[in-house]
Amino acid sequence: MKTVHVGILGLGTVGAGTAQTLLQQRDLIRARSGVDLVLKRAADLNIDRDFGIAFPEGVLTSDAGEVLDDAEIRIVIELIGGTGIAREFILRAFAAGKSVVTANKALLAVHGPELIAAATEAGVDLYFEAAVAGGIPIIKSLREGLVANPIREIHGILNGTCNYILTRMERDKVSFDEVLREAQDLGYAEAEPSLDIDGWDTAHKAVILAQIAYGIPITLDEVPVGGIRDIDPLDVAFAAELGYRVKLLAILRRLENTVEVGVQPALLPATHLLSKVDMSFNAVQVNGAVVGETLYYGRGAGSLPTASAVVADVVDVALNIASGAADRIPLQWAPNPPPQLLPVGERMERSYLRLPLRDRPGTLAKVAKVLGDRGITITALMQKEAHQAHEFIPVVVLTGEARMADISRALDELAAMSDVGEGIVRYRVEELSS
């Protein structure tokens, strides 16, 4: 039986859950994996709180140095978060020959390539299962379970707050603002919700998935990001009538010589399993060239679900250490030739359009001509009879696949027409194979 000492930096929600899991499941982990994980130190700036955890004598410390400078500690669990001191501590751990497990998606999305290079140089491990989709073992599945698969596509519902809001908007026909306020009252959403609802949290995870699945060291600023702040319940309802549900998706796709990576709200067929992922759950659908479609579902956040992934990483790294094989699986891989990121304008997308059209003869024909001139086909059209007099009537159009640059130009042209009112709405329509 090999003993591996570990230390935690940061005892917030996830840190406390991780400490609790390490202590409570020590026997189970020892029985299953053959390594004995000893939590030697857990550091937090404020240790005068009641964590509700029976820390053994001497484990709690307010000095991160007691983790980083302890030669016996071989694995540092970084759960401070943010891109500042966390980065410094991780680099210090690498320099001391320690491996690192982290749940810090923001740090990885911004400094991932730097950190991976530093870990590789030091010959240690950097594991981060908990950074994407919380307790769902999606990183392990991509890196190991699907290692023989060229990854064709990934569709991820990766932010529980957004999925909760969209589920409630559809189910209860309430507005975005109303659900958000309620979610904030219940503690499901942050007081400053932008990271979640504007898509940035999902984008962090998309960047990490792109590095794992495609070996491309992109960073956050290269990824087009959309959020759900402006979604109107009207469009959620129209989508439902057409057989679709609206989800905030991370979409990754391998094309000929390029990779598409982005975050945006999209309409998914209501019959597809991914569209049935409700409330605060996360799910990742992976289309591999050998295995076909696979899907992974579970809790994407929360103290214990995230701790489950953190501790699994710790066991993995401890097994590497115990067998003298740190850096067992390369942290970075480079496809040859490396694919380029697809420019947004080159993306091929189907579109859901809601067009406010003047209720007079010939308007629809003009709209169809503008779309047709750009090679954009109409696959479905829905216009409800107006029961009151309105200057503009909402007409919903689903289009075939078209280049985003062509769609943008067509929408500019439509917006300039006197028969088209203000507030054209557009969302991606994503058909999924299964």
Triad 46, 309, 54: Cα angle to 5° = 40
For a copy of itself, the closer CB: 268 or 411: 268
> Least distance (Å) from a copy of itself to the CB of residue 380?
24
Rg (CA), the chain: 24
For a copy of itself, the closer CB: 304 or 368: 304
Among candidate residues 105, 140, 205, 247, the one labeled active-site is 205
For a copy of itself, the closer CB: 188 or 281: 281
Say which residues have a Cβ less than 8 Å from residue 232's Cβ, sequence separation at least 6.
Answer: 176, 425
**β-strand partners of 383:** 395
Residue 426 token pair: 């557009």
**Alpha-carbon gap, residue 127 to 310, rounded angstroms:** 9
Q: Which residue has the tokens 């990271």?
A: 195
For a copy of itself, the closer CB: 159 or 308: 308
- Pick from 401, 363, 362: which is nearest to 379 by CA? 401
Contact residues for a copy of itself, defined by CB under 8 A: 21, 25, 27-29, 31-34, 129, 135-137, 140-141, 143-150, 215, 273, 276-277, 281, 288, 290-299, 302, 304-305, 307-309, 311-312, 315-316, 319-320, 323-325, 328-330, 333-336, 434
For a copy of itself, the closer CB: 247 or 354: 247
Residue 40 token pair: 């030697």
Residue 226 token pair: 């959309």
> Least distance (Å) from a copy of itself to the CB of residue 82?
25
> Least distance (Å) from a copy of itself to the CB of residue 112?
17
Residue 210 token pair: 């792109």
Distance of CA 173 to the CA centre of its chain: 26
- Pick from 280, 276, 274: which is nearest to 300 by CA? 280
> Least distance (Å) from a copy of itself to the CB of residue 356?
36
Per the CB < 8 A criterion, the answer to whether 248 and 163 are in contact is yes
Task: For residue 327, give the DSSP letter.
Answer: T
- Catalytic, 205? Answer yes
For a copy of itself, the closer CB: 273 or 393: 273
> Least distance (Å) from a copy of itself to the CB of residue 351?
27
**Alpha-carbon gap, residue 177 to 241, rounded angstroms:** 23
Q: DSSP secondary structure string, 349-384? A: EEEEEEEEEESSTTHHHHHHHHHHHTTPPEEEEEEP
Per the CB < 8 A criterion, the answer to whether 15 and 79 are in contact is yes
Residue 85 token pair: 């001191």
For a copy of itself, the closer CB: 56 or 335: 335
Which residues are the active-site residues?
A: 205
